[in-house]
């Protein structure tokens, strides 16, 4: 079934989390007015504004603030940080029915396994997010396109249905026959770029420094070796390609981990660099530089906790 007809009927869609990723999704889906959108949040808002280079888009967003208010949906778009998945469990349990599809718009890997305890019989669709989102206020986000596509999912009926959700919006989805390799390519960027920007407290301009670029390239070489051991079909010059993708991001853009550290929130380090190191241990691939980066980022994350030192 082609994407144009895979999801022709009006869908009921719940978005969990209105941060940098979820705010963009909810705002642009709401503006398209093709589906019924509800956001699951701690505090209600009346509308969501998405700032784009072409101009701002504003749309009303119905919100729920208590899982007891929720009912099963056709789709659940999970847009929280990975470390917040368990706290989203009550929402997922109320929103998921036997025919629900759950799209995990989260960093990292192994989303189907992580979500299994919370979604019952619902289908989990891991999605790679390529756009750069920045939360400006509870009801305002900034969207920057990160390339030709905004999402990538595995090609198949579920992936095609996901792509069809965004018809009528500016968000575009790549359907891939080799999703694992694409997931690793995104993980390479996040596992190195996010903690480096968070630790230096610099936006993406930091990667234009020669010394930082050299360090990142060495970190990426280690991570690429892990990805290959895990079955990803990575190119011979994958580390250099990844570094080029990092430096191509606008210098004034910031990573999610950078914004989390500025706000004093825990860092998503274990789902990113920690995942690479864990897989490296499984395959016995040495990663001394990545281990050092992980240790420093964990220490920075701990200092962001309410009782951190």
Tokens of 308: 């951190």
Q: Quote the strand ranges of the chain, DSSP E.
A: 12-16, 36-40, 47-52, 55-60, 63-64, 75-78, 101-104, 123-126, 128-129, 132-137, 140-144, 151-154, 173-176
- Supply the pLDDT for residue 157: 97
Closest CA to 145 of 160, 134, 161, 159: 134
The pLDDT confidence band at residue 149, using thresholds 50, 70 and 90, is very high
Give the model confidence (pLDDT) of 33-76 as tens digits: 999 999 999 999 999 999 998 899 999 999 999 999 999 999 99
Indicate whether 89 pLDDT > 70: yes
- Supply the pLDDT for residue 8: 58
Question: CA–CA separation, 87 vs 91, rounded Å?
Answer: 8
Q: Which fold has domain 180-304?
A: 1.10.1040
Tokens of 35: 């589906």
- Supply the pLDDT for residue 304: 58
Can you give the residue ranges of every domain in the chain?
Answer: 12-177, 180-304
Indicate whether 266 pLDDT > 70: yes
Question: CA–CA separation, 215 vs 172, rounded Å?
Answer: 33
Q: Which residues of 214-245 are buried (b: 16+ CB within 10 A; e: fewer)?
A: ebbeebbebbbbbbeebebebeeebbebbbeb
Mean pLDDT of 220-237: 98
- Supply the pLDDT for residue 109: 86
Q: Single out the catalytic residue among 33, 81, 180, 186.
A: 186
Q: Quote the strand ranges of 159-249, DSSP E.
A: 173-176
- Give the number of other CB atoms < 10 A from CB of residue 112: 14
> Residue 228 belongs to what H/E stretch?
helix 210-229
User: What residue has token string 């095609």?
Assistant: 160
Mean pLDDT of 122-129: 96
Of all residues in the chain, what percent carry a pLDDT higher than 90?
84
186 is catalytic: yes
User: What residue has token string 């101009």?
Assistant: 55
Mean pLDDT of 260-265: 92
For domain 12-177, the question of CATH label 3.30.420.40 is answered with no
- Supply the pLDDT for residue 190: 95
Chain centroid, CA 216 distance in Å:
21
Provide the pairing of β-strand 75-78 with 101-104: parallel
Q: pTM, whole model, 2 decimals?
A: 0.85
The pLDDT confidence band at residue 83, using thresholds 50, 70 and 90, is confident
Q: CB under 8 Å to 69, separation ≥6 — which residues?
A: none
pLDDT, the chain, mean? 93
Instruction: Please determine whether the domains at 12-177 and 180-304 fall in the same fold group of CATH.
Output: no
Our CA dihedral for 180, 182, 183, 185, rounded to 10 degrees, sits at 120
Indicate whether 2 pLDDT > 80: no
Question: CA–CA separation, 149 vs 129, rounded Å?
Answer: 9
Taking phi first (over 0 means left), then psi (-120 to 50 degrees means alpha), and beta for anything else, what does residue 305 get? Answer: beta
Indicate whether 293 pLDDT > 70: yes
- Supply the pLDDT for residue 295: 98
- Supply the pLDDT for residue 3: 41
Whether the Cβ atoms of residue 35 and residue 10 lie closer than 8 Å to each other: yes
Provide the pairing of β-strand 128-129 with 151-154: antiparallel
Indicate whether 5 pLDDT > 90: no
> For the chain, how many residues are written?
309
């Amino acid at each position: 079934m082609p994407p144009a007809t895979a999801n022709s009927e009006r869908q009921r869609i719940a978005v969990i989390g209105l941060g940098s990723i979820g705010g963009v999704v909810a705002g642009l889906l709401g503006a398209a007015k093709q589906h019924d959108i509800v956001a699951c949040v701690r505090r209600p808002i009346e509308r969501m504004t998405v700032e784009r280079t072409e101009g701002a888009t504003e749309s009303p967003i119905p919100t729920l603030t208590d899982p007891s208010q929720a009912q099963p949906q056709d789709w659940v778009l999970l847009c929280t940080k990975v470390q917040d998945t368990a706290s989203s469990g009550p929402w997922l349990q109320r929103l998921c029915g036997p025919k629900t599809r759950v799209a995990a718009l989260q960093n990292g890997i192994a989303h189907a396994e992580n979500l299994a305890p919370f979604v019952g019989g619902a289908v989990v669709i891991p999605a790679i997010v390529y756009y750069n989102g920045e939360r400006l206020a509870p009801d305002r986000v900034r969207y920057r396109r990160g390339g030709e596509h905004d999402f990538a999912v595995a090609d198949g009926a579920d992936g095609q249905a996901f792509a069809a959700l965004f018809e009528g919006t500016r968000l575009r989805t790549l359907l891939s026959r080799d999703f694992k390799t694409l997931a690793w390519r995104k993980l390479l960027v996040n596992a190195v770029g996010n903690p480096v920007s968070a630790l230096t407290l610099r936006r993406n301009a930091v990667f234009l420094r020669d010394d930082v670029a050299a360090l990142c390239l060495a970190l990426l070489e280690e991570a690429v070796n892990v990805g290959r051991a895990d079955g990803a079909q990575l190119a011979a010059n994958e580390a250099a390609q990844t570094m080029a993708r990092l430096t191509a991001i606008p210098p004034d853009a910031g990573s999610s981990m950078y914004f989390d550290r500025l706000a004093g929130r825990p860092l998503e380090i274990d789902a990113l660099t920690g995942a690479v190191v864990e897989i490296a241990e499984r395959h016995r691939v040495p990663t001394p530089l990545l281990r050092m980066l992980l240790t420093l980022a964990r220490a920075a994350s701990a200092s962001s906790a309410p009782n951190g030192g």
